[in-house]
Amino acid sequence: MSKIDWSNLSFGYMKADYNVRCIYKDGKWGDLEISQSEQVNMHMAATVLHYGQAGFEGLKAFRGKDGKIRVFRMDENGKRLISTCRGIMMAELPLEKFEEAVKKVVKLNEHLVPPYESGCSLYIRPVLFGTGPQVGVKPAEEYEFIVFVMPVGPYFKEGFKATPVCILRHYDRAAPFGTGRYKVGGNYAASLIAGEEAHTKGYSAVLYLDAREKKYIDECGPANFFGIREKEYITPESESILPSITNKSLMTLAKDMGMTVEQRRVPVEELLTFSEVGMCGTAAVISPISKIDDLDENKSYVFSEEGKPGPVCTALYNKLRAIQYGDEADKFNWITIIE
Ligand SMILES: *Cc1c(COP(=O)(O)O)cnc(C)c1O
C-alpha cells in the first residue's frame, strides 16, 4: 500500500490489506480465516437481506508515544455483540473468538495504525450477519462474522468543539421493548431519515426522546447522551438505548474525579438545569452539544455560545484519550496491547 497522508484522513471506508472472517455452519463456528477480499458471497435469500439479521461493533486501536498499539475495551465490545446476537436470534460468537479476531486483524494491518503524533487511530469494525437462506420468517442456520479495519482521522479536525442538535418528535429510532438496546443495522436504517432532516437543518444529530411518552431523553442517533450539573454526571436509563462503552467509561472516570453519577430517566425539562451536555461514543469520545433546539415546542436550550466545550466535558475527554493513547496509566485495565 502506498504512503497514507495521515493529516488528511477522515472517517470513511478505506481498503486495508487483510480482514479476518469466521463462518458458522452445521451448528458451530469454524476457524478464523484471513482474507484479502472486500467482497462477501452469499445466498440471495440470506436472512440479513430480507429480515435484517445483522449486528455490528465499533472499536479503536491507538498507537502510543512508545510505538505500542493499544486496543480499548475489546472485551466489552465482544460481550455486547453476544447480547446483540441473542437479541435478534443470531448464532452467538464466543468472546474468545471475538478477541482473537480483533487481535489478529490489528496485527495483520499493523502498518495501518497511524503514528501517535497524527491524532488518528485505527477503526475496527466487526460485523455479524445471517447468510443462510430463509423465506419463512425464521433465524438463519448460517452466519458470517467479519472484522475489518481502516485508519481514521481525528474526529475534531479543528479542535474539540461543541455542535447543535435538535429534538424531532415525529421520528423514533427504536421502540421501548424493541431492538434499541442492541447494535443492529435496522436501528440505523430507522434513523437515517431523521438524521437527514437534522443535517439539512444544520444540526449534527437528532436527540431522541422515549418513544412511549416523548417525555424523557433517550439518546442521539449513534451516541449516548449525558448532562453535567455541578459535580453530577447524569445519563438516561431507558430500555431503548444502546449501552455505550464510552459512556460506561466516562461514568467510571467521572466517579474517579470525585463526581456523582446518576443513571436514571431524564425528563426533557431537566435540560434547563444542566451546565454542559454532550454525546458520547467511540467515534468522537465526547461530542459536546452547544445547544438543543426542540423544534416541536419552539424551545432552545443553549449551553455554549461559540461552540466552546465546557470544562467538565473537556476534562473527561482529555482523560479518556490519554488512557487510550497510553499517556496515562491504564488503572482500570481497559487496554490490550497488541504484541
Ligand atoms: C455504537 C452506539 C453508541 C456508542 O457506543 P460506544 O460503545 O460508546 O461506541 C451509542 N448509541 C448507539 C445507538 C450506538 O449504536
pLDDT band with cut points at 50, 70 and 90 for residue 159: confident
What is the 244 CA–ligand 1 centroid distance (Å)?
5
294 and 148 inside one domain: no
pLDDT band with cut points at 50, 70 and 90 for residue 305: confident
Domain membership of residue 330 (yes or no) is no
pLDDT higher than 70, residue 23: yes
Domain boundary among 102, 117, 152: 152
* Average pLDDT over all residues of the chain: 96
Bridge partner residues of 121 (DSSP): 152
Asked if 255 is an active-site residue, the reply is no
What is the domain range of residue 11? 6-152
CA 235 to chain centre: 16
pLDDT higher than 70, residue 211: yes
67 and 180 inside one domain: no
Rounded to whole angstroms, the Cα distance separating 19 from 301 reads 44
Residues 181-198, mean pLDDT to the nearest whole number = 97
Percent of the chain with pLDDT over 70: 99
pLDDT band with cut points at 50, 70 and 90 for residue 158: confident
Each residue's pLDDT tens digit, 78-136? 999 999 999 999 999 999 999 999 999 999 999 999 999 999 999 999 999 999 999 99
Q: How far is CA 317 from CA 53, 260, 282, 287, 290, in A?
A: 34, 17, 12, 9, 16
pLDDT, position 2: 60
- 270: Cβ–Cβ under 8 A, 6 or more apart, which residues? 217, 227, 234
132 and 192 inside one domain: no
Write out residues with Cβ below 6 Å of ligand 1: 58, 183, 219, 222-224, 242, 244-247, 281-282
- Determine the residue of 183, 206, 240, 249 to mutate for testing ligand 1's pocket, defined as the one with the most ligand atoms within 8 A of the Cβ atom: 183
- Determine the residue of 11, 74, 84, 242 to mutate for testing ligand 1's pocket, defined as the one with the most ligand atoms within 8 A of the Cβ atom: 242
Q: How far is CA 89 from CA 48, 119, 143, in A?
A: 12, 38, 11
Domain membership of residue 334 (yes or no) is no
What is the 135 CA–ligand 1 centroid distance (Å)?
31
pLDDT, position 1: 52
Domain membership of residue 1 (yes or no) is no
- 277: Cβ–Cβ under 8 A, 6 or more apart, which residues? 225, 226, 227, 228, 271, 288, 289, 292, 301, 303
- Give me the catalytic one of 60, 103, 183, 291: 183
212 and 143 inside one domain: no
204 and 276 inside one domain: yes
103 and 44 inside one domain: yes
141 and 170 inside one domain: no
